[in-house]
Amino acid sequence: MADSLPQFVRRRAKNACEYCQVAQEHMPTTHELDHIIAVKHRGPSVAGNLALACFACSRHKSCNLSGVDPKSGQIVRLFHPRRHKWSTHFVWDGPILVGRTAIGRTTIEVLEINLQYRVAFRQLLIDEGVFPP
pLDDT at residue 93, rounded to an integer: 98
Please, which pLDDT band fits residue 5 given cuts at 50, 70 and 90? very high
SS3 127: helix
Please, which pLDDT band fits residue 2 given cuts at 50, 70 and 90? low
pLDDT at 66 over 60: yes
Q: What is the mean pLDDT of residues 33-37?
A: 97
| DSSP-assigned beta bridge partners for residue 93 | 96
Task: Report the chain's terminal Cα–Cα distance, integer Å.
Answer: 29
